Chain A
Amino acid sequence: MDNSDFSQGNEDSQQVAELQNGEWTKLSPISIVYFAVRSIFDFATTFFYLIPVLAINFNKIKEQPLIIVVVAACILIIFIVMGVLNYWFYRFRVGDDRIEIKQGIFKKSHIDLPFARIQNVKLSQPLYYRINDYSCIELDTAGSAKQEAKIVALKTDLAKQFRIKILETATESKSDDASSSIASADVGAASNEVILNHRSMRDLVIHGLTNNRIWIFLGALAPFYGSISDFLSQIFESIGFDVEAYFSIETQAWWEFGLHVLSVAMLIMLVVVSFSVVGAILMFYKYTLSKTKDRYIRRSGLLTKHEVSMKLSRIQIMVQAQDWLDVLLGRVNLSFEQNTSGVANANKSDGQMSNKLLVPSVTIDESLALMKDAMPSQTLAEQVFKPISKRYILRGLLFIALPIGGLLFAMIVRNELYVATIAACSAFALIGAILVIRWKRWGYSYDNEYFYIRRGFFGVNYYCFPMYKVQQAQFKQSIFIRPYQLASLKVVLASGAKLVPYMPASEVTNIINCILDQLVIDKRSWM
């Protein structure tokens, strides 16, 4: 299925209305597959530490193949039964303004979720749902992670329609009564999507190169590390490759050894990079970022298709991140971040997190255009950043470089004085150089509405947030910088805190006053 037809289809609104009849509904039987697969994943994540035990006893087990077959069959049956039971006990009911879900075999749960509290609606389509064109709807709530709800199988068209319905109800209930007629008139408009950005295969390859997306694989392969290394050593043995001799310092010249290490490192890099590229493609295949009236929607994915939507007003901060390789290639990763108070995202990788909307490896111009679209009045591109105090370097030299250099010196000095001096000095100089670069990257700027931060090391990141979204502001000053009239500014947003160190103290109080004064007048919600 093509991504573009995700956004088609209005004729199902009648079906949605049927769905909202207030009766308990069962899912389509195809959800059994979903539940079975999910219980396999749950099982694998819970019991993957048992795999080494199995591997050790592998020889014993190998002698009785019948047992393996029986055990495997039993486990498979258990999964299927789990799937069926989960399907059997799953009921959902959709009312005018709320959805209720009852689920669970042993541990029953009853979720009652008003549409108004739904922050995000996420559609995902696993591979096995693609045959019958079903999708999962995940409903994220603003606060508590416990209340997260999922309707496991709905026809994709219906799911899309349902999503629009939920989001419209959510916005409607927040707006005043007078404007509700306008809101309902805009029903059609909400489904009018404009595609803002899409990523080509070339972009994804660049993204894979510049951003280490190998974790997608490492995560999936974690249970099998032991068997992989066994397998590799078996291969080496069978082709007559002696690993120990290859890396032995005694039997070969130092340059030969160095060459060997280098070639292996290159080989590993090559593998890592190619896996990373594949990972990027898996995650961001056919990436599109589109915009409806008040929302951004991100769709991507090769095997499992993800669809994440984020309300524009919920964006707390925009981050334009650029690693050193990105700097060379002129690409940036742009992300829109919303609040992180839910714990549900804590152990998800950043590509899947629904509190972050990532636009991978766009050009700087595209990024600026997207940021302009999200927050039209910000002027990041025109900002002249003010530097922080050079004492920032001094602090690093005193508290990081000096102790490390001293430690190195103390460790080596007993044997060789010269080596110790050289090592200590070069460590000091290296850290000093890093500190200088970091200091050079630090910068801040602000206008009447927005605050901008620039920071980084080899790469450079830009942050931009509207001051009225600030949750809390902090003025920080240690006795070491107090005599020099310096201070650090910490700003807490719903998406996390940002700190700018070693600014002039008067500037910090100025900014805090500016933020607080703005909040006195500007009563817009941060959500």
Chain B
Amino acid sequence: MSIELISNQQVELSGTCKVEDLVLHSLSPKYRSLNIIVSLIVGFVIVVIILLLAIQPLVSMPQKYLDYYYIAVMGITFLTLWSVLYSYFADRKKKYAIREFDVHFQSGLLFFSTVSQPIMRIQHIEIERGPIERSAGLATLQVYSAGGANHAFEIPGLVYEKAIELRQFILNHKDVSQNG
């Protein structure tokens, strides 16, 4: 099965490999486009609602609303563009790596971070898929340790099959089955 394939790859990485020179895998390219599309749609819908409220003749809106609604439109347009740009540059930076005994996730454009999760300390694993992720065939892998939900280890934007494979790799890991 493909699980064996993963662990074979990683054997040569482990041992000599240090955290700073890990070979990192990118997320699915769909992940970034999906984020951008979602921000655009959300921003567009909110702007349309604000505009419609201003134009529609059925209910008379308060004068203050009519005076200032364009500020809200501008603000939301700016936020949308910001998040599109941010996704465009930041999502490329999100990468993950798996070694024989730990998993790593790297991210950050302005605030760079690498989270390292030893597999032995994993308590349980979840695969999360919202409707949008499902439509694109993506999934988010969430890994929980005793550090609590605030410190859940998460790899988003994985191709679903890959996420399943990863989960299986962790579940089959001898550290989880024996010491976890």
Q: Quick check: which of A66-74, A421-429, A470-478 contacts chain B, the rest being far away? A: A470-478
Q: Do A478 and B147 form a contact, CB below 8 Å, given A470-B121, A472-B116, A516-B102? A: no
Residues of the A chain whose Cβ atoms lie less than 8 Å from the Cβ of B145: 471-472, 492, 494
> In the bound complex, do residue B114 and residue A475 qualify as a contact, i.e. CB atoms below 8 Å apart?
yes
Residues of the B chain whose Cβ atoms lie less than 8 Å from the Cβ of A516: 19, 101-102, 116, 118
Q: Quick check: which of B56-64, B105-113, B128-136 contacts chain A, the rest being far away? A: B105-113
Query: Smallest Cβ distance from A5 to chain B, in angstroms?
Result: 37
A520 part of interface (Cβ distance < 8 Å): yes
> In the bound complex, do residue A523 and residue B111 qualify as a contact, i.e. CB atoms below 8 Å apart?
no
B120 part of interface (Cβ distance < 8 Å): yes
Q: Which of A479, A512, A520 contacts B116 (CB 8 A)?
A: A512
Query: Smallest Cβ distance from B99 to chain A, in angstroms?
Result: 8
Q: Which of B101, B113, B121, B147 contacts A520 (CB 8 A)?
A: B101
A76 part of interface (Cβ distance < 8 Å): no
Closest partner residue, chain A, to B179 (CB atom): A523
Closest partner residue, chain B, to A473 (CB atom): B116
B20 part of interface (Cβ distance < 8 Å): yes
Tell me the complex Cα distance, A470–B116, Å.
11
Q: Which of A471, A476, A478 contacts B121 (CB 8 A)?
A: A471
Query: Smallest Cβ distance from B98 to chain A, in angstroms?
Result: 13
Interface residues as binary, B112-152 with A (CB distance below 8 Å gives 1, 0 otherwise):
11111110110000000000000000000000011110110
Query: Smallest Cβ distance from B131 to chain A, in angstroms?
Result: 30
Tell me the complex Cα distance, A206–B19, Å.
48
A525 part of interface (Cβ distance < 8 Å): yes
Tell me the complex Cα distance, A436–B61, Å.
55
> In the bound complex, do residue A341 and residue B115 qualify as a contact, i.e. CB atoms below 8 Å apart?
no
> In the bound complex, do residue A472 and residue B19 qualify as a contact, i.e. CB atoms below 8 Å apart?
no
> In the bound complex, do residue A479 and residue B110 qualify as a contact, i.e. CB atoms below 8 Å apart?
yes
> In the bound complex, do residue A519 and residue B118 qualify as a contact, i.e. CB atoms below 8 Å apart?
yes
- Residues of A447-474 at the interface with B, using a CB-CB cut-off of 8 Å, are 470-474
- Residues of A321-359 at the interface with B, using a CB-CB cut-off of 8 Å, are 339-341
Query: Smallest Cβ distance from A94 to chain B, in angstroms?
Result: 29
Closest partner residue, chain B, to A524 (CB atom): B179
> For the complex, would chain B's binding face be called helix, strand, loop or mixed by DSSP majority?
mixed
B153 part of interface (Cβ distance < 8 Å): yes
> In the bound complex, do residue B153 and residue A472 qualify as a contact, i.e. CB atoms below 8 Å apart?
yes
- Residues of B76-110 at the interface with A, using a CB-CB cut-off of 8 Å, are 100-102, 108, 110
A497 part of interface (Cβ distance < 8 Å): yes
Tell me the complex Cα distance, A297–B76, Å.
58
Tell me the complex Cα distance, A520–B11, Å.
13
Query: Smallest Cβ distance from B168 to chain A, in angstroms?
Result: 21
Tell me the complex Cα distance, A520–B101, Å.
6
Q: Which of B110, B118, B175 contacts A472 (CB 8 A)?
A: B118
Query: Smallest Cβ distance from A87 to chain B, in angstroms?
Result: 37
Q: Which of B111, B113, B151, B178 contacts A471 (CB 8 A)?
A: B151
A392 part of interface (Cβ distance < 8 Å): no
Query: Smallest Cβ distance from A526 to chain B, in angstroms?
Result: 6
Tell me the complex Cα distance, A520–B113, Å.
22
Residues of the B chain whose Cβ atoms lie less than 8 Å from the Cβ of A470: 118, 121
Closest partner residue, chain B, to A512 (CB atom): B19
Tell me the complex Cα distance, A457–B175, Å.
41
A191 part of interface (Cβ distance < 8 Å): no
Tell me the complex Cα distance, A515–B110, Å.
26
> In the bound complex, do residue B111 and residue A513 qualify as a contact, i.e. CB atoms below 8 Å apart?
no
> For the complex, would chain A's binding face be called helix, strand, loop or mixed by DSSP majority?
mixed
Closest partner residue, chain B, to A487 (CB atom): B112
Residues of the A chain whose Cβ atoms lie less than 8 Å from the Cβ of B18: 509, 513
- Residues of A472-523 at the interface with B, using a CB-CB cut-off of 8 Å, are 472-479, 482, 492-494, 497, 509, 512-513, 515-516, 519-520, 523
Residues of the B chain whose Cβ atoms lie less than 8 Å from the Cβ of A341: 146, 148
Q: Do A474 and B116 form a contact, CB below 8 Å, given A509-B20, A516-B102? A: yes
Q: Do A476 and B146 form a contact, CB below 8 Å, given A470-B121, A519-B102? A: no
> In the bound complex, do residue A523 and residue B121 qualify as a contact, i.e. CB atoms below 8 Å apart?
no
Q: Do A471 and B146 form a contact, CB below 8 Å, given A479-B112, A516-B118? A: yes
Residues of the A chain whose Cβ atoms lie less than 8 Å from the Cβ of B146: 339, 341, 471, 494, 526
Q: Do A472 and B147 form a contact, CB below 8 Å, given A479-B112, A509-B18? A: yes
Specify which of A339, A341, A492, A515 lies most central, judged by the most chain B CB atoms within 10 Å of its CB.
A492
Query: Smallest Cβ distance from A507 to chain B, in angstroms?
Result: 12
Q: Which of B151, B153, B175 contacts A523 (CB 8 A)?
A: B175
Tell me the complex Cα distance, A520–B150, Å.
25
> In the bound complex, do residue B19 and residue A513 qualify as a contact, i.e. CB atoms below 8 Å apart?
yes
Residues of the A chain whose Cβ atoms lie less than 8 Å from the Cβ of B108: 477
Residues of the B chain whose Cβ atoms lie less than 8 Å from the Cβ of A340: 148
Closest partner residue, chain B, to A474 (CB atom): B115
> In the bound complex, do residue A478 and residue B112 qualify as a contact, i.e. CB atoms below 8 Å apart?
yes
Query: Smallest Cβ distance from A298 to chain B, in angstroms?
Result: 23
Tell me the complex Cα distance, A13–B54, Å.
80
Query: Smallest Cβ distance from A199 to chain B, in angstroms?
Result: 31
Q: Which of B14, B151, B175 contacts A497 (CB 8 A)?
A: B151
Closest partner residue, chain A, to B102 (CB atom): A516
> In the bound complex, do residue B110 and residue A475 qualify as a contact, i.e. CB atoms below 8 Å apart?
no
> In the bound complex, do residue B111 and residue A476 qualify as a contact, i.e. CB atoms below 8 Å apart?
yes
Residues of the B chain whose Cβ atoms lie less than 8 Å from the Cβ of A471: 118, 121, 145-147, 151
Residues of the B chain whose Cβ atoms lie less than 8 Å from the Cβ of A512: 19, 116
Residues of the B chain whose Cβ atoms lie less than 8 Å from the Cβ of A526: 121, 146
Q: Do A472 and B114 form a contact, CB below 8 Å, given A339-B146, A492-B147? A: no
A sample of 23 inter-chain contacts (CB < 8 A) reads A470-B118, A470-B121, A471-B147, A472-B115, A472-B145, A472-B147, A474-B115, A474-B116, A476-B112, A477-B108, A478-B111, A478-B112, A479-B110, A479-B111, A479-B112, A492-B151, A497-B151, A509-B19, A513-B18, A516-B116, A519-B102, A523-B175, A523-B178
Given A474-B114, A497-B150, A519-B102, 16 extra CB contacts under 8 A = A470-B121, A472-B115, A475-B114, A478-B111, A479-B111, A482-B112, A492-B151, A493-B147, A497-B147, A509-B18, A515-B118, A516-B101, A519-B101, A519-B118, A519-B121, A520-B100
Identify the B interface with A (CB < 8 A). 14, 18-20, 100-102, 108, 110-118, 120-121, 145-148, 150-151, 153, 175, 178-179
Identify the A interface with B (CB < 8 A). 339-341, 470-479, 482, 492-494, 497, 509, 512-513, 515-516, 519-520, 523, 525-526
Return the 4 tightest CB-CB contacts between A and B, nearest first: A492-B147, A471-B147, A494-B146, A471-B145
